[in-house]
Amino acid sequence: MNGLVLARLADVPPPGRGALRCRAGTVEIGLFRVGDEVVAWRDLCPHEAAPVCRGTISGTRLVSAVGDYRYGRAGEILRCPWHGWEFDLATGQHLAGGSGARLRAHPIEVRGGLIFDAAGLAQDRELIIAERVDAAAGVIVLDLRPADDAPLAAWAPGAHVELELPSGRRRHYSLCGDPADRACYRIAVLREETGRGGSAELHEAARCGERLLLRRIRNRFPLTPGRHLFLAGGIGITGVLAMARSEARRTGHSRLVQIGRSRSTTAFLDETAELPGAELIMTERDGRPDLTALVAGTEPGTVIYCCGPERMITEVKAAGERHGRRVIIESFVPQPAPAGAGDHRPFQLELARSGRVIDVGADESILEALHRSGVDHAASSCRQGWCGSCETRVLAGVPEHRDTVLAEEERADADRMMICVGRATGERMTLDL
Ligand code: FES
């Protein structure tokens, strides 16, 4: 943790009264109260075109030189003055149906009436395996604690960590513990014999006292406001368990359907049993569930969160389309990549930090061209465009996206790309490398 005090808690305006703006390093942020919490958003819309935290309050409107920021729902909506997009102030999520765009959070820590910059908490930290439990056949649950005295970065249900394993492989695991516990991250790992080796390595190497490197925390699966159905297949329970728990705490009920083969192969059965409204389906005992009927049986407006095997995801997505339900999936396996526009063409790549220019051939990816040229500091994991590890900022040029990580709105922003599969549409592009 860098320990910088950003502001006094008392100076943050009450809910619905706008932001306290301040600077965290080189980044402008706005601190807002939402209920009893303080959230910090970068003072920039997702298009990086307009500041979103400025202005003065007049009634229920935050008025700025550019336009109006309109507050509604008891001060929980923030509106970009430039594009008119509205964002949930608590989650940063763009409120348009189907949109994956969101405001960018800045990590903060509130202690002793002060707000600290917590950017250093969320990346490149050593974690110690404090506990390992065999939770089901082929599934281990690991409790990871920080190797230093600083608390772990706060997270919201739906978040996952990117861990670097002893071999240097990077892998992503959903956080399935308690977000209120700032001393422990809990993950579960299914050993996949036909996988790429990460789960087998962790099953063999994960002993209490061993260290893993936390590269970063991401949340591409945030919980939106409203009514939900959580569908979890197999180890997919890790993606939705924290969400279902949080909903049960908030509303006293949580519609979670956990599907597993048998009790011996299914993890977190006790946790699911404690959730009011949760249902357990064991396929060896109960047969395969009718996922289409489950989706069709939800009330209109229900958002369906689905995490599980590919076949299940495909079925639930199709049912969502057929019955007009929004389906949000979390998948750590390759999804069909969108087709790129046109054939591969060579282009020149400028690396902004060194000023170096390298050629990217028609038959190689940006990542491969970087490695060929001796540039090895670009992170990567899946190298197939679905994990998000190699996300890189685009400073000039227009990317041709070929990944399945970015939402449509994020693609349209053209300000970042997955360099393991993405290319340039023109003859030259500059990346923040
Ligand atoms: S390495 Fe996984 S998206 Fe590029």
Closest atom of ligand 1 to CA, residue 381: 1
Mutate to test the pocket of ligand 1, among 366, 368, 389 (most ligand atoms within 8 A of CB): 389
Q: What is the pLDDT of residues 337-355, one digit of tens each?
A: 555 544 678 999 999 888 8
Q: What is the pLDDT of residues 269-311, one digit of tens each?
A: 999 999 999 999 999 999 999 999 999 999 999 999 999 998 9
Q: What is the pLDDT of residues 203-241, one digit of tens each?
A: 999 999 999 999 888 877 778 778 999 999 999 999 999
In the reported structure, the alpha carbon of residue 371 is separated from the centroid of ligand 1 by a whole-number distance in angstroms of 15
Most confident option among 58-62, 141-145, 158-162: 141-145
HSE value, Cβ hemisphere, 13 Å, CA-based, for 307:
28
Most confident option among 255-259, 335-339, 416-420: 255-259
Check if 390 has its Cβ closer than 6 Å to any atom of ligand 1.
Answer: yes
Closest atom of ligand 1 to CA, residue 420: 4
Question: Domain 123-218 belongs to what topology?
Answer: Elongation Factor Tu (Ef-tu); domain 3 (2.40.30)
pTM exceeds cut of 0.85:
no
Contacts of 317 (CB under 8 A, 6+ apart): 306, 327, 329
What Rg value do the Cα atoms of the chain yield, rounded?
22
In this structure, the number of other CB atoms found within 10 A of the CB of residue 72 comes to: 14
Average pLDDT value for the chain: 85
Tokens of 281: 């389906």
Report whether pLDDT(119) > 90.
no
Report whether pLDDT(155) > 90.
no
Q: What is the pLDDT of residue 67?
A: 43
Q: What is the pLDDT of residues 401-410, one digit of tens each?
A: 888 788 766 7
123-218 and 228-330 in the same fold: no
Mutate to test the pocket of ligand 1, among 335, 392, 417, 420 (most ligand atoms within 8 A of CB): 420
Query: Domain 5-117 carries which CATH code?
Result: 2.102.10.10
| Confidence band for 98, pLDDT divided at 50, 70 and 90 | low
CATH 3.40.50.720 fits 228-330, yes or no: no
Q: What is the pLDDT of residue 1?
A: 44
In the reported structure, the alpha carbon of residue 417 is separated from the centroid of ligand 1 by a whole-number distance in angstroms of 10
Check if 64 has its Cβ closer than 6 Å to any atom of ligand 1.
Answer: no
Average pLDDT over residues 172-189: 93
Closest atom of ligand 1 to CA, residue 388: 3
Mutate to test the pocket of ligand 1, among 387, 416, 417, 433 (most ligand atoms within 8 A of CB): 387
Tokens of 235: 């180890």
**Where exactly are the structural domains of the chain?**
5-117, 123-218, 228-330, 347-431
Closest atom of ligand 1 to CA, residue 405: 3
Average pLDDT over residues 38-43: 88
Q: What is the pLDDT of residue 69?
A: 47
CATH class of this structure's domain 347-431: alpha beta
In the reported structure, the alpha carbon of residue 215 is separated from the centroid of ligand 1 by a whole-number distance in angstroms of 14
Contacts of 50 (CB under 8 A, 6+ apart): 44, 66, 80, 81, 82, 83
Backbone angles phi, psi at 283, to 5 degrees: -65, -30
